[in-house]
Amino acid sequence: MSELLFGVAGVPKGARGTSSEAGVDRVRELGLDAIELAWVRGARMGEEAARSLGEHARRRGVLLTAHAAYYINLNAETKEKRAKSRNYILQAARTGALCGVRSVVFHAASYMGRDPEDAYRVVKDQVEEVAGILREEGNPVTLRPETTGKPSQFGSLEEVLRLCAEVEGLAPCIDLAHLHARSGGAFNSYEEFVEALRRVEEALGREALKDLHIHLSGISYTSKGERKHLMLSDSDLHYGKVLEALCRLGVRGVVICESPDQAADAQLLQHTYRELCGSG
């Protein structure tokens, strides 16, 4: 991508209705660039509706991404539950392709008491199966495992980057608020943000920083990790340092805001980024 775009997760406040089309229109009214479709209970959209949404977003110049169901756990204890999780990802990617969605983000798994390395092998096997099916179907959507906010969840930066390096068709979703919460309040300086981005580059190449998918919001946490999303102004996350790191390293792609009032914070991020980078 040629620039860093800013958008929201789900239909933002102030939209004229609750439809995804209304969300697209509101995003454009606000001067934002993207919307992440919140398919957190599954991608329940017919083919005609999906194609119509995709055409509407193209006409409005709004980038679409999607978030797959929250129920996914590729490290589940039974084969049946793992199969359901694979199907949630396949469903989101297939519907997403009809919409023209660029990426599908998903939370891969919980450790379920397993050793992290054992959990990694199970998750990798499941993701390889999904990615292989989508390649056979000619599906162009990029699957993006997300860094997670709790140490009990699969999704450290190291795990996500390793998975993306070892499985064809994957790229990371770097949730910087989650990494802050996962660390119990560390991971909050310019130097640490730069280091994380350098690790992306080292694992996946410079091209990964030219098409990076980022989640950013305020967040509250305990010693066990993430509690809930907050407005940036109510959080101790140094979002300005995040944006400075993105600017200095020339990162391109999309930043999706998940704050409670996602549009307001997305505009704040966009404005702050442009001030730091001397653009807009």
CATH code for 4-277?
3.20.20.150
Q: Residue 62's pLDDT is what?
A: 98
Q: Residue 279's pLDDT is what?
A: 65
Q: 30, 12 in Cβ contact below 8 A?
A: yes
Residue type, 201: E
What residues form DSSP beta bridges with 66?
37, 104
Residue type, 135: R
Give the number of other CB atoms < 10 A from CB of residue 71.
14
- β-strands 142-145, 109-110: how paired? unpaired
Closest CA to 75 of 37, 108, 41: 108
For 221-253, write each residue's pLDDT tens digit.
999 999 999 999 999 999 999 999 999 999 999
For 189-228, write each residue's pLDDT tens digit.
999 999 999 999 999 999 999 999 999 999 999 999 999 9
- Residue listed under structure tokens 């795990």: 159
Q: Residue 278's pLDDT is what?
A: 81
- β-strands 173-175, 212-216: how paired? parallel
Instruction: Give the angle subtended at the CA of 101 by the CAs of 30 and 148, to the nearest 5°.
Output: 85
231-241 core/surface letters (b: 16 or more CB in 10 A; e: else): bbeebebbbbb
Q: 121, 137 in Cβ contact below 8 A?
A: no
Closest CA to 99 of 53, 32, 45: 53
Whole-angstrom CA distances from 184 to 19, 154, 237, 250 are 36, 16, 12, 28
- Mean per-residue pLDDT, 151-162: 97
For 94-138, write each residue's pLDDT tens digit.
999 999 999 999 999 999 999 999 999 999 999 999 999 999 999
Whole-angstrom CA distances from 213 to 132, 142, 172 are 22, 11, 7
Round to whole Å and give the CA distance between 11 and 192.
32
